[in-house]
Amino acid sequence: MSSIKLLDCTLRDGGYVNDWNFGHENLVSVFERVVDANVDVIEIGFLDDRRPFDMNRSIMPDTNSVDKIYGGLDRKQTQVVGMIDYGTCDISNLQPCKDSYLDGIRVIFKKHIMKEAMEYCRQVKALGYKVYSQLVSITSYNDEELMELIKLVNDVKPYAVSMVDTYGLLHPEDLVHYYEILDENVDSDVCIGFHAHNNFQLAYANALAFLEKDNKKHDILVDGTLYGMGKSAGNAPLELLAMRLNNKYDKDYNIDSMLEGIKESVMDFYAKAPWGYNTFFYMCAKNLCHPNYLTYFENKENLSISKIDNLLAMIEPEDKKLLYDQLVAEKLYNDYIDGEGSDVEDKKALKQELSGREILILGPGKNIRLQQEKVNTYINNSKPYIISINYIPNDIKVDCVFTTNIKRYHNMHIFNEKIIATSNVECRNGKFDFNVNRAPLLEHKEKIKDNSFLMLLKLLDNIGIEKVTCAGFDGYSEKEDNYFDPSMEYYFIKDQAKHLNEHMKDAIYELGRTMQIDFLTYSAYTETEDIHGAAF
């Protein structure tokens, strides 16, 4: 029967969370806890000659640096390995294994450089190390390409060859398919490994499918990290794998030591930058694409989550999905903005809707009620077109609602009101009356970049509206509630009230150069009750 080994890579894969800056005490603590847990193999970090030596980091320029951090620690029976991303650590930076604290080196590489990388593995093996050939993004291989890789493996005969589900795309049946090809064709002396990621919440399930495949011809190796700490959606949790191996395969891993390691060294990092299954990594996995595409579209600040999902699905050609190409992302986005995402016709329609009307903009400030008689008098006399922002007042009938915020839109009960929506908000049923692109309306230099009042003023100014009247824009207060409905308050507003008021004054002053902005109710945004043109 084949043997099963458990490998911990917390100090390497977990480093993506904190730029490998665990701190020296945590490096030592994790190492000692994992060793005390009787884990078979511990990966202590990256070897990367682009990075300077730092006693607090588990990314090191050469094998000599490993000894400086870990050399005095008792490894007991645990095999100690490091990892190299092929091309980032010259072979000259590796001591012979007999002079190094490391027993082995794992080399990761993508399929388009498999030949060069396997030759590098041969050189590392010649230095005496146990060499692990790590197949990055195993899902990018078709069967023929995997067989081509296997020929190289059988020629070099590394200690192990591992399937790496880099982007968490595997389902158990797909994993078993890849594994069966390796198990059938790889030289029997080479161990077969699996490294999971949790984008589909399947890291542990896939690891179990790998462990429980019957009639194995090879020794196998399964990776995990303490509490699943790791890149993107995280990894298979080491403590879960150890529990399963203890219960079903008669292993004797000390899970208490793992739990102590989690409590001592991992949870503080989780509190600062949590990992694990989330929408971001699910969408990347769903669309079989590199996370940088999603980041690119998010940074445009102009798209709803469903629009981003649609763009991700359109990435082509196929070989660009997992190899990020910014030119591909730019073309997709620009084509969308010029086509389906264009707001030119909506702006024309909105301008026609407002043509010849007095316009009253309603905000949620308390003075909309405290000065309600004044507001009602204006409405009765001027018969304005009324636009409220991100809410619908109970006692004033509005013609239209301007919505910029998904949660605020969710909380509104819309009946016959028309809707102007920015492009980050998706309609619940049918389509909005007017859709406008969000990004050009933002205040990019401010912490609160999406001030909905300024966004609406910018929009109206852009379509040629020359005059608006405003009510319910009290400004921000350091002491009192800023809204008549306290549930609309942002927690950080009061601390920044003075700055926000000054910024709003400046922004309204600039808009006042081309648009007459009158305030019907009290506002901290002006020293008088009216702004005419640029005059306060």
Mean pLDDT of 369-378: 93
Pairing verdict, β 400-403 and 79-85: unpaired
Are residues 536 and 519 in contact, defined by beta-carbon separation less than 8 angstroms?
no
Of all residues in the chain, the percent with pLDDT exceeding 70 is 94
The candidate with the shortest Cα–Cα distance to 223, out of 238, 202, 206, 209, is 238
pLDDT value for 251: 97
Supply the pLDDT for residue 343.
96
Question: pLDDT tens digits, residue range 10-48?
Answer: 999 999 999 999 999 999 999 999 999 999 999 999 999
What the block records as the tokens of 182 is 């390796």
Q: Which CATH number describes the domain made up of 4-272?
A: 3.20.20.70
DSSP 3-state of 409: helix
Checking if the pLDDT of 362 tops 90, the result is yes
214 vs 338, more confident? 338
Type and span of the H or E element at 110: none
For the segment 162-187, what is each residue's pLDDT rounded down to a tens digit?
Answer: 999 999 999 999 999 999 999 999 99
The structural domains of the chain, with segments of one domain joined by +, span 4-272, 287-338, 344-519
Residues facing 191 on adjacent strands? 160
Residue 427 to residue 433: CA distance in whole angstroms: 10
Read off the DSSP letter of residue 112.
G
pLDDT digits (tens, 9 = 90+) for 263-280: 999 999 999 999 999 999
Alpha-carbon gap, residue 466 to 184, rounded angstroms: 76
The token duo for 71 is 């050399």
Residue 481 is predicted with a pLDDT of: 60
Q: Is 386 helix (H, G, I), strand (E, B) or coil?
A: strand
The pLDDT confidence band at residue 535, using thresholds 50, 70 and 90, is: very low
DSSP 371-440: THHHHHHHHHHH-PEEEEESS--SSS--SEEEE--HHHHHH---SS-EEEEETT---SSS--SEEE-SGG
Instruction: Report whether pLDDT(529) > 70.
Output: no
Mean pLDDT of 463-486: 79
pLDDT in tens, 212-247: 987 789 999 999 999 999 988 999 999 999 999 999
d(CA 384, CA 79) in angstroms, rounded, equals: 77
Separation CA 355–CA 328 (nearest Å) = 41
Q: What percent of the chain has pLDDT over 90?
A: 83
- Condensed to tens digits (0 to 9), the pLDDT of residues 434-460 reads 999 999 999 877 777 889 999 999 999
344/5 Cα distance (integer angstroms): 61
Instruction: Give pTM, 2 decimals.
Output: 0.80
Among 68-77, 372-381, 465-474, 519-528, the minimum mean pLDDT is found in 519-528
Query: Is there a contact between 251 and 257 (Cβ–Cβ < 8 Å)?
Result: no
pLDDT tens by residue, 82-125: 999 999 999 999 999 999 999 999 999 999 999 999 999 999 99
Average pLDDT, the chain: 92
Closest residue by Cα to residue 265 from 97, 26, 455: 26
Q: What is the DSSP string of 26-68?
A: HHHHHHHHHHHTT-SEEEEEEE-TTS---TTBSEESSHHHHHH
Where is pLDDT greater, at 394 or 86? 86
Q: Cα(first)–Cα(last) distance of the chain, in Å? A: 86
